[in-house]
Amino acid sequence: MSFLEPNLDAALTDLTRRPQVLVALDFDGVLAPIVPEPDAARTLPRSAPVLHALAALDGVHVALVSGRTLDDLRHLADPPPSASLVGSHGAQVADEHGQDVGAATTLDEGSRNLVARTSTALHEISARYPGTFVEDKPVGAALHTRQIAVREDAVAAAQSAVQGPGSWPGVRMTLGKEVVDLSVVDVDKGVALLQLREAIGLPPGSGGVVYIGDDVTDEDAFAVLDDAAGDVTVKVGEGKTGARHRIDDPDAVADVLLRILDLLGTRPATRTVMR
């Protein structure tokens, strides 16, 4: 028996009848609740074992797609060993074999210098606004404002980042929940998701991909999927979205994952598998 909204349950039922399935999710706000201290985030205990069980099934591929670095995802998210990991909004990618294949591996000297300048500028802004902090990444840096108690200061800090290093030539800006993420690589979660499905053998229009996200940055992933063709897009929480389905919180994400696992357990064991 499923407690999911009927339209979502029907979409997941159709998804799991396909020979190849890609289960892709954001981390913060999806697998893990949003917490004040980023290093304290962890995949919910209800979700972690289900992800591992899904990844162990033939024809099922699991991917985490996040603004976090790959190191963060490996340390905090407890991903299955075979999971594909997408970090830094697509600039870092580790495939199912653990090989780093993303754009971050090919930065030239000019790009590395721009990363250093961008980081320095954000650290200078952060020093002016106590409660903010900077997350340094291989391809850029991000200014986080979640911990600021005074909302006017959070807005001012974000504006300084947007109007300062965010406006520099060669810097790509991504605005998320309480974060200004700056990168020297022009990628996003949608581009990364398309690359993942191509590598698996699920061309656009073939269905078979479920993506669950909560942030503005996840809209890029929703936009490259096609619910009418059999993909499933799920927004976690409130806010305007291009996703067809909506659930409340990370605990509801666990319900979705459990339902997918349950449905996959009822389909025929003989399938065409492309690795």
Residues annotated as catalytic are: 26
Q: Is-contact 65 77, C-beta < 8 A?
A: no
- Joined tokens for residue 201: 């053998």
DSSP labels for 202-250?
A: --TTS--EEEEE-SGGGHHHHHT--GGGT-EEEEESSS--S-SEEE-SH
Determine the Cα–Cα distance for residues 62 and 95; give it in Å rounded to an integer. Answer: 10
SS3 state of residue 84: strand
Structure-block tokens of residue 52? 């591992």
Count other Cβ atoms within 10 Å, centred on residue 102: 23
